Amino acid sequence: MASISPLKPAAEGHARNPGMPLDLDVLDRIRVNLSAVERRATTLPGRRTVKKEHQAAWLLKAVTCIDLTTLSGDDTAGRVKRLCAKARQPVRPDVLNALGMDERKITTGAVCVYHSMVETAVVALKGTNIPVAAVSTGFPAGLSPFDLRVKEIEASVSAGAKEIDIVITRGHVLTGNWQALYDEVKSFRAASGDAHMKAILGTGDITTLRNVAKASMVAMMAGADFIKTSTGKESVNATLPVTLVMVRMIREYLEMTGYKVGYKPAGGISTAKDVLNYFIMMKEELGNDWLEPDLFRIGASSLLGDIERQLEHFVTGRYSADFRHPMA
């Protein structure tokens, strides 16, 4: 019977990023070498092959880092409840048993929903430690009036969201108005209170990797707990080159301040192979602390099904049909 080595226990907790004053000199010094980034992003996944029991262990770890997401206009309470049931038991018990992992309480990292579904999700996840993440601030465009966006965060926190995924005003980046971006994110962080805040940059909208780097840095200076690539609604969502730029900014911010900021790629990550590439990049660029759910999340609506299929293949040698791994 296949079995896998135990997962490493969760990393020691780290201090929450308090932010720092906006430092425009730091931004001015940011340069991004496009061809070097593309080269590294292309070659990095091939530098490690993760096979068999190591792959199964990494995939189980990936499950614990998923923000299991539904963000559709046709979301219903029923769909959200089914998603929460999946978050509680993301891998079938027989597969876990065959992996020798049934003693471990494997759950997803969070469930991510619109504000109107927060209460439903909180009730459905009662008795677990799975946080509910709300996409607040006029997701996905983030262009509703500023005071309404702040109120939406407050309402999501009152409804029980423990994590808030905010969207930045991409126009502030496109016009180089870093002060406005900093003030906006800082206000959102204040409204989030004890809830951890992920800042969605909408990287597909902000056109250059230099903008991605600068927006990442400003969001961290303004106190973001995580920086996140995308809403999943842009025409281009998470990519490895964007990831490389963002994680290098996380490293630079750590060197500058001593604070660890988390990273969340989101949108279009739907296969086990994709997610392993992200894990390799996190490990190579930031180290093992960023392989844990307190510093790494993957925003995804359909990834879990493929991971389950791969795990089942690992234990049985056969692939099952997609319908055997329903999401919601």
Ligand X SMILES: O=C[C@H](O)COP(=O)(O)O
Q: In angstroms, what is the minimal distance from the CB of 227 to ligand X? A: 13
Q: In angstroms, what is the minimal distance from the CB of 214 to ligand X? A: 22
* Straight-line distance from the first to the last Cα atom of the chain, in angstroms, rounded to the nearest whole number: 30
Using CB under 6 A as the criterion, which residues of the chain lie in contact with ligand X when the complex forms?
69, 71, 112, 231-232, 266-268, 299-302
Query: Closest CB to ligand X among 108 and 182?
Result: 108
- Asked if 139 and 167 count as a contact pair (C-beta separation under 8 A), the reply is yes
- Asked if 66 and 297 count as a contact pair (C-beta separation under 8 A), the reply is yes
Q: In angstroms, what is the minimal distance from the CB of 326 to ligand X? A: 15
Among 304, 291, 303, 272, smallest CA distance to 91 is for: 304
Whether 165 is a known active-site residue: answer yes
Q: Give me the catalytic one of 61, 86, 186, 228.
A: 228
Whole-number Å distance between alpha carbons of 271 and 325? 13
Q: Give me the catalytic one of 264, 274, 294, 306.
A: 264
Q: Which residue is nearest to ligand X (CB)?
A: 232
The amino acid at 87: A
Question: What tokens appear for 67 in the block?
Answer: 């923000």
Query: Closest CB to ligand X among 83 and 300?
Result: 300
Q: How many residues does the chain have?
A: 328
Q: Give me the catalytic one of 165, 205, 274, 294.
A: 165
Query: Closest CB to ligand X among 57 and 135?
Result: 135
Whether 228 is a known active-site residue: answer yes
Query: Closest CB to ligand X among 99 and 166?
Result: 166
Whether 126 is a known active-site residue: answer no
Question: What tokens appear for 155 in the block?
Answer: 């309402």
Q: In angstroms, what is the minimal distance from the CB of 165 to ligand X? A: 7
Whole-number Å distance between alpha carbons of 78 and 286? 39
Whole-number Å distance between alpha carbons of 179 and 26? 13
- Which residues are catalytically annotated? 165, 228, 264
